[in-house]
Amino acid sequence: MKSVMYHYVREYNSELPFFRFLDAKNFEKQLDYFDAEYGFVTKEEWLQVLNKKSLGSAKGKIILTFDDAMSCHYDYVFQELKKRGLWGVFYVPTQPYTKGKILDVHRIHLLCGAFEGIKLLSTLKELLDERMLRDKKIKEFREHTYTRQENYDGVSEFKRILNYFVSYQYKEGLIDAVALELGFEFNVSDFYVSVDKLTEMYLGGNIIGSHTVSHPVMSKLSHVEQRSEIIDSFSFLDGIGCVDVKTYCHPYGQFHSFNEATVDTLNSNNVDFSFNVESRDICDKDLSSSIQFLPRYDCNLFPFGKAS
């Protein structure tokens, strides 16, 4: 059985000319391909699989998952799944609903979608003060950013500075400042699926799962911080009446993004299953040994799955 992960599924928007996304038409073509090649696991089959810890009739089929609760998951994905009688698992980071602000990870995507990398990079460098850098990274930053003046990719460099060189406490403020400088406004209510629409998707047969509160790299947090990321996000989803099966998905994914404390917390909070990012099929053994980090493929590994 294969689980497949999606993020942005949408149409071209001229306000975000550089934005990376899976075109909705290619999403449809990929669903056709999966249908012809493998078939889809029904929700009933999946609940059986969890119950019996055996793939049974689900063997060889596809389960669809969608991360980050972007509004396109309602506008395109849910509508298309409904049309086809399909369902999916949707993973929601809950902080945008409680804080009313787009997560930094998504604000970086939006800025990179709206502006050329070189422009973002020069704006960021103007605003950056070496005191904002992580102590251990200052030397590397100087060498890296001053010796490779030519021929670099502005976008990778922009992301690398924010995600890697800058101290965590300055990151949010710097993103605010870059956006202000470039006159770009973030609109949280357009960006994520609204609570009403999440409820509609849940009632329409989809599973809604936790993707933490603030989408951190969990392995960098203490056990206590990880517990609140997981427990608080489930409380929010419970509060809006969207939890039956309890499921979780590791932010960023892959084995370095979480640790034993994460898995302990998931087990002690009776989470039924969790997804990681690992490019291989789910086998029977995973249902016992890897239930809190089931393998999952990126959609770009299959035909029609490449980002535009």
x/- contact string, 182-221, with Zn ion (CB under 5 A)? ----------------------------------------
Whether the Cβ atoms of residue 5 and residue 67 lie closer than 8 Å to each other: yes
| Exposure letters 223-244 (e unless 16+ CB within 10 A, then b) | eeebbbbbebbbebbeebebbe
Question: Cα separation of 108 and 184, whole Å?
Answer: 12
Decide whether 67 or 157 has the Cβ nearer to Zn ion: 67
With binding defined as CB under 5 A, does residue 68 bind Zn ion?
Answer: yes
Q: Rounded to the nearest whole angstrom, what is the least distance from the CB of residue 213 to Zn ion in the complex?
A: 12
Tell me how far, at minimum, the Cβ of 7 lies from Zn ion, in Å. Answer: 7
Cβ closer to Zn ion: 91 or 141? Answer: 91
The stretch near Zn ion (CB under 5 A) out of 10-18, 37-45, 178-186, 245-253 is: 245-253
In whole angstroms, the minimum distance from the beta carbon of 108 to Zn ion comes to 13
Any idea what the Cα angle at residue 37 is, between residues 276 and 207, rounded to 5°? 40
Residue 154: both structure tokens together: 């502005």
Please identify, among the stretches 65-73, 153-161, 175-183, 275-283, the one whose residues bind Zn ion according to the rule CB under 5 A: 65-73
Q: Which is nearer to Zn ion, 58 or 242 (CB)?
A: 242
In the complex, least distance from residue 146 CB atom to Zn ion, rounded to whole angstroms: 33
| b/e map 182-195, b = 16+ CB within 10 Å | eeeeeeeeebbbee
- Of residues 67, 157, 229, 286, which one binds Zn ion by CB under 5 A? 67
Q: Annotate 78-123 with DSSP letters as a single string.
A: IHHHHHHT---EEEE--HHHHH-S--HHHHHHHHHHHS-HHHHHHH
Q: Which helix or strand (DSSP H or E) is residue 65 part of?
A: strand 62-67
Is the CB of residue 72 less than 8 Å from the CB of residue 12?
no
Residue 104 sits in the site that holds Zn ion (CB under 5 A): no
Question: Taking contact as CB under 5 A, which single stretch among the options 163-171, 174-182, 183-191, 248-256 is the one that binds Zn ion?
Answer: 248-256
Q: Which residue number, 88 or 123, has a Cβ lying nearer to Zn ion?
A: 88
> Among the candidate windows 59-67, 125-133, 201-209, 270-278, which touches Zn ion by CB under 5 A?
59-67
